Each structure stands twice: as structure tokens, then as C-alpha cells.
């Protein structure tokens, strides 16, 4: 069980250390801190980012052997990947290598968090890549040196049980939520529901393809209560048996 908490960099600061809210979220990019100093854990890095690091070193989420701490909402394009493509299309995840932490546990935790993000953001395993993939930097270094095998890491992700990541939100910004439906067998079935959402309920909505099925994701609601009310509405109209509320 990994606790995922947010310690979000405030908007004004985020504007300075990212490329803005233009991340297309196609990839999950794996990094390491490369800092073995004792105490250089996820909390420490989240605080550093909160207090203002520079653009080239911004990333979304830091994971250690105890927890995962999120610094930026994923729609921000952080600078950590070292190339425009990686920065504008990647969710940057950094694993701690602090000497007072358990590195292999941190790698396990990162795998569970990555599995959760893949599910929430509809990102396939093929698009989970190393920082090296985008810029040739030797990162994540320990993993690349074989201290945790990359293929093993991908296997952990594939086998990560759903529901082992517990999100604990400590908001520093306004919270916003999408509602997602279950999947529909055909595009037409999803389109019918899409039209109800759009023209009857007045919601912004888009369709997402997940392998050969389709699901719907609403535009953002500005509170959890609103998102929960939308879920109720969907269930009451029997448009989807299952729904989920996900944070932006």
C-alpha cells in the first residue's frame, strides 16, 4: 500500500518552473534523484520543488520507500525530461535513491503508482519509458546499472494490484475532478451516452478508446461533491453501471 499525497506547487510558482498546462500526457517518464544523501527522500524533494527549483529540474511526482508526493498536476509540462517532446508529452516520476531509504521498496512503490497513473490517464505500458529515452541522459542511473532491472520494473507495473495506491489529498490549489464511465463495447454505444452527457446534462465530455472499447470522461467539475452528483445522475439514467471520480 502506497500513500500518494499532494503537496502542490502554487500556481504562480508553477508558471515559472514548468512550460505551462500543455502536457499531452502520452508517456510516463521514469527518473531517479541520483542523490544518495541521507534524508533526500520524497518529502524533501517535494519541499524543494514547493520552495522553487528551476524549470529544467521540475517533475510531477517523487517516490521513496514510504510514500509518493505529487508536486504538480499532470497537465503541467514539467522540464525534467530534457527534450521538448519528453517535457510536453510526459508525466515525470522520480524515484529516490537516498542511502537511508530502501531502494528496492521505492522501486516497488513507483511501480504501483505508475500502474495507477496508467489506469487514470489511459497510458499504455509501451509508453512507460526511461528519461534516457528522450535525451540520452544516464537516468534512472541505478536502474540502468542493473540495481533494479528495468524489465522487472515493468513486470511489477503489470502485476501491480489495483487499489494499492491510496490518494491522500492536501490541496494547495483548487481541486477539480473528472468522472469516467465504464467501457462500452462499440463506438456507437459510447456516442449515444456522449450525446446524453453533452446535450441533456450540459457537460463537456470526451471519448477515450481503451484497446477495442470506449469510455467517456467528463470535463472538470470544480468540487468532489459536483463530481459525485454527476456520478449519481449517470447511474440514475442507467448510462453506465460503473463510474469513477478522478482528480485532475
For the CB of residue 247, give the shortest distance to Zn ion in the complex, in Å: 25
SS3 56: helix
Our finding on whether 194 is near Zn ion (CB under 5 A) is: no
Whole-angstrom Cα distance, residue 196 to residue 201? 6
SS3 58: coil
**In this complex, which beta carbon is closest to Zn ion, that of residue 31 or of residue 217?**
31
β partners of residue 230: none
| 78 grid coordinates | 514539467
Torsion sign across C-alpha atoms 90, 134, 82, 167:
positive
Cβ proximity of 227 and 177 under 8 Å? yes
Binding mask 106-135 for Zn ion (x = CB under 5 A): -------------------------x----
Cβ proximity of 26 and 127 under 8 Å? yes
Cβ proximity of 43 and 94 under 8 Å? no
Our finding on whether 31 is near Zn ion (CB under 5 A) is: yes
For the CB of residue 139, give the shortest distance to Zn ion in the complex, in Å: 3
Our finding on whether 215 is near Zn ion (CB under 5 A) is: no
Our finding on whether 139 is near Zn ion (CB under 5 A) is: yes
220-239 positions binding Zn ion, by CB under 5 A: none
For the CB of residue 95, give the shortest distance to Zn ion in the complex, in Å: 10
For the CB of residue 96, give the shortest distance to Zn ion in the complex, in Å: 13
Binding site for Zn ion (CB under 5 A): 31, 131, 139
Amino acid at each position: 500500500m502506497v500513500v500518494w499525497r499532494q503537496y502542490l506547487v502554487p500556481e504562480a510558482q508553477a508558471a515559472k518552473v514548468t512550460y505551462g498546462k500543455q502536457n499531452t500526457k502520452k508517456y510516463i517518464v521514469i527518473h531517479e534523484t541520483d542523490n544518495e544523501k541521507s534524508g533526500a527522500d520524497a518529502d524533501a524533494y517535494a519541499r524543494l520543488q514547493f520552495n522553487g527549483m528551476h524549470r529544467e529540474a521540475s517533475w510531477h511526482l517523487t517516490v521513496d520507500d514510504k510514500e509518493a508526493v505529487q508536486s504538480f498536476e499532470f497537465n503541467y509540462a514539467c522540464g525534467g525530461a530534457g527534450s521538448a517532446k519528453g517535457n510536453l508529452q510526459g508525466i515525470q516520476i522520480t524515484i529516490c535513491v537516498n542511502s537511508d531509504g530502501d531502494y528496492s521498496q521505492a522501486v516497488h512503490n513507483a511501480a504501483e503508482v505508475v500502474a495507477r497513473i496508467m489506469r487514470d490517464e489511459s497510458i499504455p505500458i509501451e509508453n512507460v519509458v526511461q528519461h534516457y529515452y528522450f535525451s540520452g541522459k544516464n537516468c534512472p542511473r541505478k536502474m540502468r546499472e542493473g540495481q533494479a532491472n528495468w524489465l522487472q520494473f515493468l513486470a511489477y507495473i503489470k502485476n501491480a494490484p489495483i487499489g494499492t495506491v491510496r490518494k491522500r489529498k492536501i490541496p494547495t490549489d483548487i481541486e477539480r475532478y473528472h468522472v469516467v464511465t465504464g467501457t462500452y463495447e462499440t463506438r456507437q454505444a459510447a456516442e449515444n451516452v456522449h450525446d446524453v452527457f453533452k446535450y441533456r446534462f450540459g457537460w463537456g465530455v470526451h471519448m477515450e478508446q481503451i484497446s477495442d472499447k470506449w469510455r467517456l470522461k467528463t470535463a472538470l467539475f470544480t468540487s468532489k461533491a459536483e463530481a459525485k452528483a454527476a456520478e449519481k445522475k449517470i447511474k440514475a439514467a442507467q448510462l453506465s453501471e460503473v463510474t469513477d471520480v478522478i482528480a485532475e
